Structure 1
């Protein structure tokens, strides 16, 4: 796997507190699993960035090698892999995802806006 791809991934997950590698983008997810994770994050009003693995075969293969995780989507919070659709869904339903985000200082967009006002 190319160092350039790993460098790009490291850079993206370090620059964005919540980073989602997915098929498609937040506006137009191109698989049901990616759409589900976007739906959960959007419902929680969590600000996040996405990278579309369908636009870059190197990234699609690279993210799997980088994380040693075989499937897309992959959600990272503060540089750590949280998991894919099933794990994110289970964590959301149990309240664990909200706790994880709070522990890492990731607050919903509406809460951060009112906190800074």
Structure 2
């Protein structure tokens, strides 16, 4: 992998599904769950925490560890922006979709599936 990164400047494709299934709920956000770096990521973290969701967060801005992940994940999910929330390996959507489901009271059962 390091050779591929050195040669191309990007994370090699092929492990996207592994990244999205590391936990039942995975939130790809800007920053960390303790220090989100944008308002949308802050909102996602706030909603997930308020629902008591056991989730893993991945900081897409931490290029030392996730070099090229943002662009690779955008292509994989066909979703142009972050945050991106995956549930059971499937893209749920971003901040707007999560917020809408939260406001409609649809999340309580959604994460228990």
Alignment length (residue pairs)? 101
Gaps of 5+ in 2: 1-9
The farther-off stretch of 38-47 and 9-18 is: 9-18
Structure 1 position 38 matched with structure 2 position 45: yes
Does the 8 Å contact 1:5/1:58 carry over to 2? no
CA distance in structure 1 between the partners assigned to 2:33 and 2:13 by the alignment: 22
Structure 1 position 4 matched with structure 2 position 9: no
Gaps of 5+ in 1: 105-117
Does the 8 Å contact 2:11/2:72 carry over to 1? no
Please list every run of at least 4 consecutive aligned residues from structure 1 whose deviation after the TM superposition is greater than 6 angstroms: none
Query: Higher helix fraction: Structure 1 or Structure 2?
Result: 1
For the residue of structure 1 that corresponds to 2:21, the secondary structure is helix
Q: What TM-score does the superposition give when structure 2 sets the normalisation length?
A: 0.82
